[in-house]
Amino acid sequence: MASSSKKDTKTPQSLSNKIQKLKDKQHVLETKMVQQLHRTLKTHQGFSLPFPTLMGGLIEIIDQAKTNSNQAEAWNVSGEKFLRQRNKQPSKIPSSKDSSTVSKLPTAMENSHDKT
């Protein structure tokens, strides 16, 4: 029996490397989504809502999207329209060079509605 001259490229190590690269890509995509969600919340004054209300609304949307394909499609169209408009506009996010503005940006944890 002749040995195979072609090495098997699907060794456990190469598969582990591919899995890690996919996990890294997933992390990058999730990070971009979080940044976009943050910009959208700021644009629409979402941080003016009490944090539990914001989270409850988000959970409700996720649940509805899973069960109501018509509603999910309508939200998809609306979201794509918003993202297209957003990509045409220059960024309104302060640059990291302007540290005085960046340090004053509120976070959800600093929202006055969150304080009890």
Q: How confident is the model over 64-111, as pLDDT tens digits? A: 999 999 999 999 999 999 888 877 765 444 443 443 433 333 433 334
Q: Where are the alpha helices (DSSP H) in the chain?
A: 12-43, 51-67, 69-88, 99-103
Handedness of CA 65, 70, 71, 75 (dihedral sign): positive
pLDDT, tens digit, 9 for 90 and up, residues 5-21: 455 567 989 999 999 99
**What one-character DSSP code corresponds to residue 114?**
G
SS3 107: coil
pTM for this predicted structure: 0.56
Q: Which residues contact 50 (CB under 8 A, 6 or more apart)?
A: 111, 113, 114
